Amino acid sequence: MHWSARRGAEVAAQADFADAIILSVQGLGHSFTVNGKAVPVFQGVSLDIARGEFLGLLGPSGCGKSTLLQIIAGLLPAASGRVVFEGRPVVAPPPDMVYLFQQYSKSLLPWRSVCANVGFAISTRGLSRREKRERCLEYLRIVGLDGFADHYPWQLSGGMQQRVAIARALAAEPKILLMDEPFSAVDALTRLELQALVLDVWTQSKLTIIMVTHDVDEAVFMSDRIAMLGPRPSSVTTVVETSLPRPRDAISTRELPRFLKLRHMLLGTLLTRPGEAGSSIASRDSDHA
Amino acid sequence: MRRGIPIMRRVPLGLLSCVAVIVFWQVLSGRAFVNPALLPPPSRVAPAVWNIVASGSIIEPLTQTLGLLAVGYGVGCVLAIGLGLLMGFNRHVYNVFEPLVELLRTIPKPALVPPLFLFLGIGAATKITIVALAAFFPVLINTVQGVRGVDPVLLNTARTFRRSTLSTIAEVVLPAALPMILTGMRVSLGLALTLVVLAEMLIGSTGVGFLILDLQRSFAITDMLAWVFILGVIGVSLNAAFETIEHAAVPWRSK
């Protein structure tokens, strides 16, 4: 509690120290080619992510936030700008960084047992088969899947499959975890459970997390800081500190005045069409929340 | 998940049509307008099958035929999977081989027996080559399709966990493409069996194919039909065995 509550202030105070910045996004731009013409998706995106921070990357569908995350992960090349992770420019997936896919069912290996899927993240060097299995079981315990080690992914529910994917990401022991709409494919209750699980894991480790989401509620609930991308061609339009106390509670945190105020402000910004003044929540059917 | 030996599921209704054909055949061969020497009834073919099996004379021709089939099919599949992985994984390899494959795969393989015969002689080499060629193309095409169809999410997963290219192929691409590869292999198995029998008829003097032709030439029609029946049983058994292996190897496919 003490350690978590200090986070926000600490982040701001140490922003000058290079060591406090684990990852730096510098003037990133990307465009798709449509009929031979380059259509910009986002441009001039700059962000510094502090060590140990939980950053929410919020934006409407099609603003390129998943693409941005894939560039950060080194899975896609940047058209312009660069990403610096621990002092080194990212040109390929770097060590100590793991990308958690939205489509857990496509990201797990169906021919491997749950345990062996987690083992996919662990380098085989210097570990006996038994040691490796024990480490896999340990990570499965963390995500609450003890007893499912020898099941196959396709025998599990969607929420459990995403837990396997989370256990596998943790097993790689990254310093930074990139999550691409990690809970968007599971039902509402499972989503709340998984949010709590990820927050627990993050609190107990020294992990830095960047989470892409289009769910304002989720972004406010989980993040230290939220960077918001505007409509295409997008750039970071707003960065807000959530300044909500930790540990966060699925029910009471969402009832705090500060939570409601942030939610109101961010949703208002998201639902405002470009060039339109003020909030127009009533005029849009809201499939984002 | 579907269970059990696949062929067993199809037996009850399918059995009716088989029985009907046998009954029709039996009735037909008793008629005056059918020469019983050319179409012996099932009641005479059945004992002949039993004789071939019981006397042990089934062993030698069958061993020769299945031996050629196994070697040719094995060589064809291994080469096809190897090239298929390369073609599916590497765009340049694909561009180099794709026109050649398109050209060669459309040639009916039996047409290649006479030219191959000129180079490889009447021995096993020609037969194995033709069987391998027949097995090669369906497996190759399915392997290429399977590899190219591997979900990008799966490949990116391997990348984010920093797998080497070799490890990605062995641990991700090959298993992911396995269902497609096995489908190709099942198609190839039928073709390979056809080609091995045909090759035996066209060249050499061994195996079930040669025997069927030889029995026909010496008017041993009952024995000839008995061997045709045995080949049918072999085909069905191979296919059933293959489907069982397929279900065991890719249990996630039905999901």
Q: pLDDT digit string (tens) for B70-121?
A: 999 999 999 999 999 999 989 999 999 999 999 999 999 989 888 988 889 8
Residues A108-136 have pLDDT tens digits of 999 999 999 999 998 766 788 899 999 99
What is the count of structural domains for chain A? 2
| Residue B90 belongs to some domain of the structure | yes
- Give A109's contacts in chain B (Cβ within 8 Å): 154, 171-172, 175-176
| Residue A185 belongs to some domain of the structure | yes
| Residue A157 belongs to some domain of the structure | yes
Integer angstrom CA distances of residue A248 from A89, A243, A284, B44: 34, 11, 30, 84
Residues B120, B212, single domain; the answer is yes
Mean pLDDT value across residues B15-40: 86
CB atoms within 10 A of CB B96: 12
Residues B95, B159, single domain; the answer is yes
Mean pLDDT value across residues B120-135: 91
Q: How far apart are CA A181 and CA B123, in angstroms?
A: 63
Q: How far apart are CA A270 and CA B46, in angstroms?
A: 80
Nearest to A106 among B151, B175, B250 (CB): B151
Integer angstrom CA distances of residue A105 from A82, A102, A113, B72, B81: 31, 9, 13, 38, 26
Q: Given the structure tokens 């296919």, which residue do they identify?
A: B239
Residues B114, B156, single domain; the answer is yes
pLDDT higher than threshold 80 for residue B254: no
Residues 120-179 of B with CB under 8 A from A: 151, 153-154, 156-157, 159-162, 171-172, 175-176, 178
pTM of the model: 0.81
Phi-psi label, residue A39: left if phi above 0, alpha if psi -120 to 50, beta otherwise = beta
pLDDT higher than threshold 50 for residue A285: no
Mean pLDDT value across residues A51-62: 91
| Residue B255 belongs to some domain of the structure | no
Q: What percent of chain B has pLDDT over 70?
A: 95
Residues A139, A43, single domain; the answer is no
Yes or no, beta carbons of A107 and B157 under 8 Å apart: yes
Residues A56, A198, single domain; the answer is yes
Mean pLDDT value across residues A253-276: 86
| DSSP-assigned states of every residue in B63-104 | HHHHHHHHHHHHHHHHHHHHHHHHHHH-HHHHHHHHHHHHHH
Say which CATH number the domain at A227 has. 3.40.50.300
Q: How far apart are CA B51 and CA B33, in angstroms?
A: 29
Yes or no, beta carbons of A120 and B151 under 8 Å apart: no
Residues A65, A158, single domain; the answer is no
Say which CATH number the domain at B68 has. 1.10.3720.10
* Mean pLDDT computed over every residue of chain B: 90
pLDDT band at residue B10, thresholds of 50, 70 and 90? low
pLDDT at B205: 86
Higher pLDDT, A19 or A15: A19
pLDDT higher than threshold 90 for residue B4: no
Best mutation site among A72, A112, A120, A124 for testing chain B: the one with the most B CBs within 10 Å?
A120
Residues B172-220 have pLDDT tens digits of 999 999 999 999 999 999 999 999 999 999 987 899 999 999 999 999 9
Nearest to A107 among B153, B171, B251 (CB): B153
What is the count of structural domains for chain B? 2
* B128-131, Cβ contacts within 8 angstroms, sequence gap of 24 or more: B128/B68, B128/B71, B128/B72, B128/B75, B129/B72, B130/B72, B130/B195, B130/B199, B131/B68, B131/B69, B131/B71, B131/B72, B131/B73, B131/B76, B131/B192, B131/B195, B131/B196, B131/B199
CB atoms within 10 A of CB A251: 7
Residues B46, B81, single domain; the answer is no
Domain that holds residue B245: 58-249
Q: What percent of chain B has pLDDT over 90?
A: 73
Residues B73, B188, single domain; the answer is yes
As to burial, measured by CB atoms within 10 angstroms (0-12 exposed, 13-18 middle, 19+ buried), residue A219 is buried
Nearest to A152 among B159, B178, B252 (CB): B252
pLDDT higher than threshold 70 for residue A180: yes
- Checking DSSP bridges between strand A97-100 and strand A88-89, what pairing results, if any? unpaired
Integer angstrom CA distances of residue A279 from A32, A86, A263: 30, 40, 13
Tell me the three state secondary structure of residue A163.
Answer: helix
Residues A242, A265, single domain; the answer is yes
Smallest CA–CA distance from B253 into chain A, residue: A110
Give the A-side interface with B, CB within 8 Å.
Answer: 70, 73, 75, 92-93, 95, 97-99, 101, 103, 106-107, 109-111, 120-121, 152-154, 172
Q: Which of A157-161, A277-281, B50-54, B119-123 has the lowest mean pLDDT?
A: A277-281
Q: How far apart are CA B61 and CA A19, in angstroms?
A: 78
| Residue A254 belongs to some domain of the structure | yes
Residues A190-228 have pLDDT tens digits of 999 999 999 999 999 889 999 999 999 999 999 999 999
| Residue A289 belongs to some domain of the structure | no
Residues B46, B70, single domain; the answer is no
Smallest CA–CA distance from B161 into chain A, residue: A121
Residues A72, A119, single domain; the answer is no
Domain that holds residue A28: 2-96+174-283
| Residue A288 belongs to some domain of the structure | no
pLDDT at A278: 43
- Give A121's contacts in chain B (Cβ within 8 Å): 161
Residues A179, A242, single domain; the answer is yes
Residues A201, A251, single domain; the answer is yes
Residues B80, B164, single domain; the answer is yes
Smallest CA–CA distance from A103 into chain B, residue: B153
Residues B91, B189, single domain; the answer is yes
What ipTM describes this predicted complex?
0.85
Residues B24, B113, single domain; the answer is no
